[in-house]
Homo-oligomer: A and B are copies of this chain.
Amino acid sequence: MDSLLPSNLYELSREEKNHLLQKLETQYKSIQEEKLHLDITRGKPSPEQLDLSLPMLSILDEKHYQSENHTDCRNYGVLDGLPEMKKLFGEILDIPHENIFVGGNSSLNLMYDVLVQAMLYGLPGGTKPWKDEKISFLCPVPGYDRHFAILEHLGIEMIPIRLNEDGPNMESVLSLVERNPSIKGIFCVPKYSNPTGITYSDEVVKAFCTMKPAAPDFRVFWDNAYAIHDIESPGERLLNVFAEAQQHHCTDRFYIFTSTSKISFAGGGVACIATGEKNLKALKKHYSIQTIGYDKLNQLRHVLFFKDRKTIENHMKKHAEILKPKKDIVVNTLQKYFSNLGVVQWTNPRGGYFVCLETLPGCASKVVTLAHEAGVKLTPAGSTHPYNKDPKDTTIRIAFSYPSTKDIQKAMEVVSLCIALASLQTMLGQK
């Protein structure tokens, strides 16, 4: 396809638009006949990316199973992580290793654990368990569906907050957090935000450290999932929220999460929490009841393979080399078909795993359905918003990492056609 919609789209007569619609529908039907099976729903690394860490699989052997301080990593013990794994996460996040708790393979599970601890026992600074109060969380939107799913599951009310180019609308955040003690937290993906790809500005990061929350146990869930996940060079720089919080004596306001899921293996990585001393003490108390300890062998694999920040940065450059052509296909295809047309806007992030589309109001779910019926799976419309409710029905998340460049190209051709179709239908007042 060379073009889908003409540059004088808005000047076309109703008849001309109908004619164009018929033409696009014919194209759509012929694509349906190709019986495609393409999937751009989830931010999964591709096999080529996973291959980058293959040597890690056999890095342990009959001689290598002890940590630096001679802990036998095969046995029980060491609840909060190997010292060298803490150090490695400390280097990734630029946070003192003393403030790090190393967990299992899933940072999402750590977030869930902390929220469960808050529900059942309360958090340091609070007066009672969250289960005994009616509480709510702020949710910058568009945001990450799995954060919303946890909050919804726990019965925590979600209040959407507009996510701008530089982070959440802090005017709204501050006016709510500083006045309403029932607001107990906010979920943030501060770098290469899922799905819009933006990075919080220094001002926004600082505002989180200087705010005066009405709730004494207010917490920021700082999901730094893409801390070192640049695609373009140079990547974006996120102000170090922990260092900033230290200056304002509020490190316990933050739970900072990250993992190696998109550095090493998505199912077999290591995750951590960085936080202040009071939180850490409470975390360790709860975790000492919940488990005997996490898999230290996998921690050892990671430290032996990744060694230090420099080695990881070089490793991440190889990820970027694989990801950049895919992201470029997404952006260039949209550019080719929709430049200056105004029917869709898209992001061009410098890192992370997603391109985010903004369609005409009421169009996003149409596009997703059309694409689905043409064999291209997209993340369900609405999933970027709490309770799956995108009020204007405009947001679509494109996950470009997993498919091959060829499949991404094909998928984007289909998605573009679907956008053109849905936009035209909407302009013609069709449901």
Closest chain B residue, CB of each to CB of A121: B153
CB–CB A50/B62 < 8 A: no
Of residues 256 through 280 on chain A, the ones whose CB sits less than 8 Å from some CB of chain B are 261, 265-268
Q: Which residue on B lies nearest to A46, using beta carbons?
A: B75
Is B44 a contact partner of A76 (Cβ separation < 8 A)? yes
> Contact string, A61-98, partner B, CB cutoff 8 A, digits 1/0?
11011000000111111100000000000000000000
This protein's copies in its complex: 2
**A116/B120 contact (C-beta < 8 A), A57-B60, A75-B267 known:** yes
Q: Nearest Cβ distance between residue A75 and chain B, in whole angstroms?
A: 5
Residue A125 at the chain B interface, CB threshold 8 Å = no
Binds B, one of A100-108, A170-178, A179-187: A100-108
Let me know if B77 and A267 touch, CB within 8 A. Answer: yes
The docked-state distance in angstroms from the alpha carbon of A217 to that of B400 is 45
Whether A292 is near chain B, meaning CB under 8 Å from some CB there, is yes
Task: Check A8 for interface membership: any CB of B closer than 8 A.
Answer: no
Please report the C-alpha to C-alpha distance between residue A74 and residue B104 in the assembled complex, in whole angstroms: 15
Is A62's CB under 8 angstroms from B57's CB?
yes
Q: In the complex, which of the residues B57, B58, B289, B293 contacts A112, with contact meaning CB atoms closer than 8 Å?
A: B289
Q: Which residues of B contact A286 (CB under 8 A)?
A: 153
Residue A294 CB within 8 A of the other chain:
yes
Interchain CA distance A298-B119 in the complex, whole Å: 31
Binding site for B on A (CB under 8 A): 42, 44-45, 47, 50, 53-55, 57-58, 60-62, 64-65, 72-78, 104-106, 108-109, 112, 116, 119-120, 131, 146, 149-150, 153-154, 261, 265-268, 286, 289-298
- Between A and B, 26 residue pairs with Cβ closer than 8 Å are A47-B72, A47-B75, A50-B75, A54-B65, A57-B61, A57-B62, A58-B58, A58-B60, A58-B61, A58-B62, A73-B267, A74-B266, A74-B267, A74-B268, A75-B266, A77-B267, A104-B105, A106-B293, A116-B120, A119-B120, A120-B120, A146-B289, A146-B292, A150-B289, A267-B295, A298-B298
